[in-house]
Amino acid sequence: MNNGKAFLACSGFAFAAILLNGTFAQQLKAQGNGTSAHHAGHDMADMHEKKDKAGSPVAGKTADAPEDMSQMDHSKMPGMSGHEGMPGMKHGMDMNEAGKYLMNLSSGTSMNPQSWPMPMLMPRLGSWNLMIMGQGFLVDTQQSGPRGGDKFYSPNWGMVSAEHSFLGGGFMFQSMFSLDPLTITNRRYPLLFQTGETAYGKALVDAQHPHDLIMGLGMNYAHSLGENTMLHFYYAPVGDPALGPVAFPHRASALELPQATLGHHWQDSTHIADNVLTVALRHKWFRLEASGFYGTEPNENRWNFDWGPVNSYSGRFSVFPSKNWMAQISAGRLADPERPFFVGGHAETHGDVVRTTASVHYTRPMEHGNAWSTSLIWGQNHVVQTDRNTNSYLVETMYPLTKKDFLTGRVEVVDKDELFANDPDLQAKLAQTAGSSFRIQGYTAGYTRDIGFFKNVETGVGANFTAYAIPSAIKPYYGDHPWGANVFLRVRLKPAE
Ligand SMILES: [Cu+2]
């Protein structure tokens, strides 16, 4: 990698860190001095100065009271005792049931298990409840073999939501941004066996695409219909329709893995879609959702909107049997999800796809404040034109060994049929001898160690390793024992200790 790229990635990452830090210039200044032990003190000092504008960020949802913020015991929060009377501290006090429901949303209307202590800052702005989340990685990756490569890149995202009671219900504005287009150069990062979307007019193969600058812009309105029922409307020019599990960048069990899942385009790739309209009805322990949206994936220009008509539909049925468990089954018909890519001078697409997914998610809060999260996911694409199914399976877990040590694991089995999309001759030859879909197995293990809090930024270093098992027919192109390794720095917004 040349110095120019390194500089670009570094400066992009610094920019991302600023964005992740809630764009509080004040906080940035404070980053350089002091140790984390003093930060609670800083928070309180800052809060006195600016309490009229907005309350200082305080602890997010806790394992004890994920649903009912008004029940939170402020005296348990670090640095909070004795300040209950401050105006900025009364976050959630005027939040109704609809507001509490909205605050549990992840990307779009998707939800992690309710007991997950969502890492976020919750300042107040006037009478608005804000939620600020953000995470970024600085990654050096090595991918083995003739189709592998290495790269220094930074995947990142930040989210700002604002909630206010409205007409007896709750209104919430969601926005989500990513600096991937800047910090993932050349429209890709190497990831063996990854497919989906395009770069420079060609299908991306053995590479993952960056996410769009505008990952989400949406409005929610929820209103209680009686004691146990909630009606919820969501409209997003850019958003996440009711299809699939919580997308991997926002999923509790995937939080310590910077790289994408191989099953992304079978499971949760619709997390960035346009013109999304969703109606949801929650009753007691279940929720039904229906969505209409524009089905074509974002194009490779990651800076713009990819506007289109509502031509795709999905439905999702979710259950929340307890705070620790969540499960969903969903299906959607996607109109032309793939952008055409060009081989031999003509454009190729697969046409419409019917996607079906099912998943189970479990989160167990632990005494040290972090939570053990596990997901089991299945996703299937049915290409209507060819009447063909391909499947993907995933198990992933993130286990916090201590307050500062995280173990992570992911196993994937995915049927890949686009590995030779850019080489039609080879693809045709393989189709005659070995078939056109290849079952890839990926086994990932990783570890992250927190090195401290810098203001409200939880900072850690980590690494992970993936070994792949592949059919012998494609070993000539990948080597006998393909592998991928990542070393990374991770920053995440979280209330300081
Ligand atoms: Cu994605």
CATH number at residue 323: 2.40.160.10
The dihedrals phi and psi of 463, each to the nearest 5 degrees, come to: -155, 155
What pLDDT was estimated at residue 299?
A: 87
Q: How far is the CA of 204 from the centre of ligand 1 (A)?
A: 13
As a dihedral over the C-alpha atoms of residue 349, residue 353, residue 358, residue 364, rounded to 10 degrees, the angle is 40
- Average pLDDT (85-112) is 77
Share of the chain above pLDDT 90, in %: 72
> Per residue in 227-271, pLDDT tens?
999 999 999 999 999 999 999 999 999 999 999 999 999 999 999
- Kindly state the tokens that stand for 103: 């605050």
Three-point CA angle 143, 146, 148, nearest 5°: 20
User: Residue 201 — very low, low, confident or very high, per pLDDT cuts 50/70/90?
Assistant: confident
Q: How far is the CA of 282 from the centre of ligand 1 (A)?
A: 26
User: Residue 310 — very low, low, confident or very high, per pLDDT cuts 50/70/90?
Assistant: very high
Q: How far is the CA of 92 from the centre of ligand 1 (A)?
A: 32
Q: 464 or 343: which carries more pLDDT confidence?
A: 464
What pLDDT was estimated at residue 338?
A: 84
Q: How far is the CA of 397 from the centre of ligand 1 (A)?
A: 19
> Per residue in 19-41, pLDDT tens?
444 433 333 333 333 333 333 33
What pLDDT was estimated at residue 94?
A: 66
Q: How far is the CA of 210 from the centre of ligand 1 (A)?
A: 8
Q: How far is the CA of 272 from the centre of ligand 1 (A)?
A: 7
84-98, 196-210, 351-365, range with the lowest pLDDT: 84-98
Q: How far is the CA of 211 from the centre of ligand 1 (A)?
A: 6
What pLDDT was estimated at residue 28?
A: 33
Question: Taking Cα atoms as reference points, which of 140, 141, 132 lies closest to residue 162?
Answer: 132
Q: How far is the CA of 200 from the centre of ligand 1 (A)?
A: 18
Q: How far is the CA of 125 from the centre of ligand 1 (A)?
A: 31
Q: How far is the CA of 431 from the centre of ligand 1 (A)?
A: 29
Q: How far is the CA of 394 from the centre of ligand 1 (A)?
A: 16
- Kindly state the tokens that stand for 105: 């949303």
* 93: containing domain: 3-493
- Structurally, the chain folds into a number of domains equal to 1
pLDDT at residue 353 greater than cutoff 50: yes
Q: How far is the CA of 460 from the centre of ligand 1 (A)?
A: 23
- Kindly state the tokens that stand for 473: 């027919």
Q: How far is the CA of 437 from the centre of ligand 1 (A)?
A: 22
pLDDT at residue 457 greater than cutoff 90: yes
- Average pLDDT (460-481) is 97
What pLDDT was estimated at residue 39?
A: 34
Question: pTM for the complete prediction?
Answer: 0.82
Q: How far is the CA of 46 from the centre of ligand 1 (A)?
A: 37
Q: How far is the CA of 158 from the centre of ligand 1 (A)?
A: 14
Q: How far is the CA of 268 from the centre of ligand 1 (A)?
A: 7
Query: Which H or E element spans position 177?
Result: strand 169-177
What pLDDT was estimated at residue 374?
A: 98
Distance CA 166, CA 172 (A): 9
Q: How far is the CA of 212 from the centre of ligand 1 (A)?
A: 9
pLDDT at residue 133 greater than cutoff 60: yes
- Torsion region of 173: left, alpha or beta (phi above 0 gives left; psi -120 to 50 gives alpha): beta
Share of the chain above pLDDT 70, in %: 80
Q: How far is the CA of 408 from the centre of ligand 1 (A)?
A: 20
User: Residue 69 — very low, low, confident or very high, per pLDDT cuts 50/70/90?
Assistant: very low
Q: Residue 198's CB: how many other CB atoms inside 10 A? A: 20
Question: Taking Cα atoms as reference points, which of 218, 198, 217 lies closest to residue 208?
Answer: 198
Q: How far is the CA of 65 from the centre of ligand 1 (A)?
A: 30
What pLDDT was estimated at residue 305?
A: 84
Q: How far is the CA of 332 from the centre of ligand 1 (A)?
A: 17
User: Residue 339 — very low, low, confident or very high, per pLDDT cuts 50/70/90?
Assistant: confident
Distance CA 479, CA 476 (A): 6
Mean pLDDT of the chain: 85
Q: How far is the CA of 32 from the centre of ligand 1 (A)?
A: 33
């210039």: which residue's tokens? 25
Q: How far is the CA of 399 from the centre of ligand 1 (A)?
A: 23
What pLDDT was estimated at residue 43?
A: 35
pLDDT at residue 84 greater than cutoff 80: no
What pLDDT was estimated at residue 278?
A: 98
Is the CA virtual torsion 429, 435, 436, 439 positive or negative? negative
